[in-house]
């Protein structure tokens, strides 16, 4: 069955590729295993030189890579260009820091000498999503490859052109074929690859369902795994917050990537004393957002990934309104070709509504009104997810005191939640486990080996 991508802004077919045959998959696994035997011995200087080449390849043809993203999943071209630049950044970060992070650590014990080494595991499979089709891959591949592992990519089936382009960048940077390989396969092939003894670990960014399946296979085979799953991030606005800044950044946080982001702010928890003022400013920012052709550099928000996704957003909005939520703006698809949905704000959101209970993977903000900071924290934690969170207040000491009470992998105070190569990224509860990026991320897929000498 062919693997095909469709432009969500036009409905046109973008790329079509044949799915790998079983013997081709076996060949790629064998290549990865053979390549690992010499790549694990490569000095950090060699790995770093190629990783810096990779950053250069990305920047050298940034418009080309960005256009593939925009055509396959509707990301505005300016955002796609920024994504390419961020990928170059993560390559440079690990090229410059991997050797330091993975240096042996001496520990004083009763031995004459004792230390800890960090050694690569082998082939690591990455099952990646479509919403940040370049960034999600590079934030896995850069640390894994710099640690001496080799990478196998099973990308989302609706962005095969991005997957092929990423493989091309590694080749152009001078990496041997087996260091990074794209597997053009359907999701039904993933279980068998996870269970193959040549694959030593797996990482997945995606849905809860996919995460459970991958974790089940990895656990059954006793292999390490990292999961980054859904999110319904809280954006808490206390009574002493800068409302204009909170409303502006809040709109960006909710509408980035058409709301199709695990760490997009989704539940806006606002103290009732300032709720009306915040909602009015919030609404102004939503209604000023330019929705249109993602290839137009003026466009701020493009289409949803598919008609199916749009219909799911419609269901969640309609059911929430039926249960008592109020529509402040938006709430409907836009009358134009493609999967476009208006930036939408729902207020008076309460438990039991889809906007409160579910992750809405689209441009819909749920405003939840509370009486004060304690109630805001309780509402923030009243979710099966725990990925990111944002807290807005003029009292930084109070903010720091609230941080330990918020159940999330990160808390951003007076700022937009975002990933950064220098900081660990991940969540808890149904948002997954393990960490990506920073020194913590690169150590997820290494053998932490104790050496004791007498």
Q: What structural domains does the chain harbor?
A: 3-229+431-453 (3.40.605.10), 233-420 (3.40.309.10)
What is the torsional sign of CA 399, 400, 401, 406?
A: positive
Task: Please tell me the predicted confidence (pLDDT) of residue 444.
Answer: 98
Please name the residues in contact with 229: beta carbons below 8 A apart, sequence gap of 6 or more.
204, 205, 206, 207, 208, 211, 262, 385, 427, 430, 431, 432
Contact call for residues 385 and 231 (beta carbons, < 8 A): yes
- How many whole angstroms separate alpha carbon 287 and alpha carbon 362? 16
- How many whole angstroms separate alpha carbon 144 and alpha carbon 90? 12
Contact call for residues 299 and 9 (beta carbons, < 8 A): no
State phi, psi for 398 to the nearest 5 degrees.
-65, -40
On the 0-12 / 13-18 / 19+ scale of CB atoms within 10 A, 3 is: buried
pTM of the model: 0.97
Please state the three-class secondary structure of the chain as a single string.
CCEEEECCCCCCEEEEECCCCHHHHHHHHHHHHHHHHHHCCCCHHHHHHHHHHHHHHHHHCHHHHHHHHHHHHCCCHHHHHHHHHHHHHHHHHHHHHHHHHCCCEECCCCCCEEEEEEEECCEEEEECCCCCCCHHHHHHHHHHHHCCCEEEEECCCCCHHHHHHHHHHHHHCCCCHHHEEECCCCHHHHHHHHHCCCEEEEEEECCHHHHHHHHHHHHHCCCCEEEECCCCEEEEECCCCCHHHHHHHHHHHHHHHHHCCCCCEEEEEEEHHHHHHHHHHHHHHHHCCCECCCCCCCCCECCCCCHHHHHHHHHHHHHHHHCCCEEEECCCECCCCCCCECCEEEECCCCCCHHHHCCCCCCEEEEEEECCHHHHHHHHHCCCEECCEEEECCCHHHHHHHHHHCCCCCCEECCCCCCCCCCCECCEECCEECCECHHHHHCCCEEEEEEEEC
Task: Please tell me the predicted confidence (pLDDT) of residue 11.
Answer: 95
End-to-end CA distance of the chain: 60
Count of beta carbons in the 10 Å neighbourhood of residue 95? 22
CA contacts within 13 A on the Cβ side of 435: 18
Please name the residues in contact with 200: beta carbons below 8 A apart, sequence gap of 6 or more.
121, 122, 123, 124, 149, 223, 224, 445
pLDDT per residue over 409-444, tens digit each?
999 999 999 999 999 999 999 999 999 999 999 999
- What is the edge-to-edge ordering of all strands in the sheet holding 326-329? 326-329, 344-347, 364-370, 265-271, 233-237, 389-392, 412-413
- pLDDT less than 70: residues of the chain: none
pLDDT per residue over 133-156, tens digit each?
999 999 999 999 999 999 999 999
Active site residue ranges: 228, 262
Q: Which residue reads 């230390």 in tokens?
A: 115
Task: Please tell me the predicted confidence (pLDDT) of residue 1.
Answer: 79
Name the residue among 246, 229, 206, 233 with its Cα closest to residue 407.
233
Contact call for residues 311 and 317 (beta carbons, < 8 A): no
- How many whole angstroms separate alpha carbon 271 and alpha carbon 3? 48
């Amino acid at each position: 069955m062919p693997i095909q991508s469709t432009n969500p802004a036009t409905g046109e077919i973008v790329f079509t590729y044949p799915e790998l045959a079983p013997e081709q998959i076996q060949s790629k696994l064998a290549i990865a295993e053979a390549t690992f035997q010499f790549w694990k011995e490569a000095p950090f200087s060699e790995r770093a030189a190629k990783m810096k080449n990779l950053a250069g390849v990305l920047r050298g043809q940034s418009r080309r890579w960005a256009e593939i993203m925009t055509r396959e999943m509707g990301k505005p071209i300016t955002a796609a260009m920024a994504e390419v630049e961020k990928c170059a950044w993560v390559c440079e970060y690990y090229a410059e820091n991997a050797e330091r992070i993975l240096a042996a650590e001496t520990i004083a014990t009763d031995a004459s000498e004792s230390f800890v080494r960090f050694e690569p595991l082998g082939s690591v499979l990455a099952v990646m999503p479509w919403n940040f089709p370049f960034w999600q891959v590079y934030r896995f591949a850069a640390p894994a490859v710099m640690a001496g592992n080799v990478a196998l990519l099973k990308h989302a089936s609706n962005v095969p052109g991005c997957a092929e382009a990423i493989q091309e960048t590694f080749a152009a940077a001078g990496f041997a074929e087996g260091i990074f390989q794209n597997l053009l396969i359907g999701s039904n092939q993933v279980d068998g690859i996870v269970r193959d003894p040549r694959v030593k670990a797996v990482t997945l960014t995606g849905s809860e369902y996919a995460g459970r399946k991958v974790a089940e296979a990895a656990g059954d085979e006793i292999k390490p795994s990292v999961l980054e799953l859904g999110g319904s991030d809280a954006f808490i606005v206390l009574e002493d917050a800068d409302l204009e800044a909170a409303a502006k950044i809040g709109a960006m946080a909710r509408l980035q990537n058409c709301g199709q982001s695990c760490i997009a702010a989704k539940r806006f928890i606002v103290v009732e004393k300032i709720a009306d003022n915040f909602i009015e400013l919030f609404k102004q920012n939503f209604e000023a957002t330019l929705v249109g052709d993602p290839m137009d550099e003026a466009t701020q928000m493009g289409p949803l990934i598919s008609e199916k996704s749009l219909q799911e957003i419609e269901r969640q909005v309609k059911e929430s309104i039926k249960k008592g939520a109020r529509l402040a703006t938006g709430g409907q698809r836009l009358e134009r070709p493609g999967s476009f949905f208006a930036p939408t704000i729902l207020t008076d959101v309460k438990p039991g509504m889809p906007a409160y209970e579910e992750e809405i993977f689209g441009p819909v903000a749920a405003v939840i009104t509370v009486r004060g900071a304690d109630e805001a924290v309780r509402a923030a934690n009243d979710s099966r997810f725990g990925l990111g969170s944002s807290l807005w207040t003029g009292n930084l000491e109070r903010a720091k005191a609230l941080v330990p009470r918020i159940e999330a992998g990160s808390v951003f105070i007076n700022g937009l939640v975002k990933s950064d190569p220098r900081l660990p990224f991940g969540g808890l509860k149904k948002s997954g486990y393990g960490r990506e990026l920073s020194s913590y991320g690169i150590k997820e897929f290494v053998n932490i080996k104790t050496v004791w000498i007498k």
